[in-house]
Structure 1
Amino acid sequence: MSTNRLQQLKGHILPGNKLIRAMASPLTTHVLNTAKGVPGANIALSLHRLQDPSTETWLLINTGHTNADGRFPGLMTRQDFLCGVYKLRFETAQYWETMGETSFYPYVEIVFTISDPDQKYHIPLLLSQFSYSTYRGS
């Protein structure tokens, strides 16, 4: 790769790039398949915000699949990131089926509260066929 092309790429990906920072999601996730020690690639997921606690009505914000690194870039925009209760739902049964495996959990829902939308929140999912764990990452 030429030096000029590397410099162009560097300008797009370095943290000092204002465009990248403006587009960066304030909420990120990462799935790790702990049974195999690899990223959880191509897992269908959806992001929801609790719209009405009295009826448990959830507003769908985004859907998609994790990338080859087990991440979902652009999960949500900074302007849509409000205080509230959110839910990330991972379709784990489909993921394991594509690998010829079965899973005890057909899906994983992680419900969490955003109290300061100016912060960055990272919600990792550590996954195997018979267990999962999560935490608030940085």
Structure 2
Amino acid sequence: MSVSTHVLDTGSGTPAVGVPVRLDHYDAENWRLVREGETDPAGRWDLSSPLPGEEAADEAAEEDGGGAAGTRVAAEPPLLVPGTYRLRFGSGRYYAARDAESYYPEITVIFLVTGLGQRHHVPLALGPFGYSTYRGA
């Protein structure tokens, strides 16, 4: 089972690079963090995206000759189970980094995962005063 997103900035017509993304799972009592990160240069994020700090550590290892002790290895994507999930997008931080105003400081999308082996792609068309989402293919 996989979860992914593609965030597009409708104001500029370009991928929304660096949008904070967090995936949570609801365990019948609380929301629990599954994985978090930021959209890549193509505006994409998924469960296999590097955790914060992993890319920098990998680059440092390359500069040290590729085999430096203590090199961080990218964590395996977590295994998902059927249930209720939440994607949280840090739209306020994204626009603040561009010195722009945003009406929505955070966009939350809650969706159901009903079976194993499914792909869940949740695109987000993002604007400073509106957004749209749907289940993609």
Say whether the fold is shared (TM-score over 0.5).
yes
Compute the displacement of 1:114 (Å).
0.4
- What corresponds to 2:5 in structure 1? 29
Q: Which one has more relative contact order, counting CA pairs under 8 Å at least 6 apart?
A: 2
Q: Which amino acid aligns with 1:48?
A: D
Q: How do residues 106-121 of structure 1 correspond to structure 2 at under 5 angstroms?
A: 106-121=105-120
- What corresponds to 2:24 in structure 1? 48
- What corresponds to 2:33 in structure 1? 60
Distance in 2 (CA, whole Å) between partners of 1:48 and 1:117 is: 17
Deviating beyond 4 angstroms after TM superposition, the runs of 4 or more aligned structure 1 residues are: none
Helix, strand or coil: the match of 1:45?
A: strand
Compute the displacement of 1:81 (Å).
1.6
Q: How do residues 1-138 of structure 1 correspond to structure 2 at under 5 angstroms?
A: 26-52=2-28, 55=29, 57-73=30-46, 74=48, 77=77, 80-138=79-137
TM-score, with length taken from structure 1:
0.75
Compute the displacement of 1:48 (Å).
0.1
Question: Which sections of structure 1, spanning at least 5 residues, go unmatched?
Answer: 1-24
TM-score, with length taken from structure 2:
0.76
Distance in 2 (CA, whole Å) between partners of 1:94 and 1:126 is: 16
Q: How many residues align?
A: 110
**CA deviations over 1:35-74 (Å, ceiling 9, x no partner):** 110001001111000012xx4x101001111101011141
Question: Which sections of structure 2, spanning at least 5 residues, go unmatched?
Answer: 50-75
**Identity between Structure 1 and Structure 2 (%):** 33
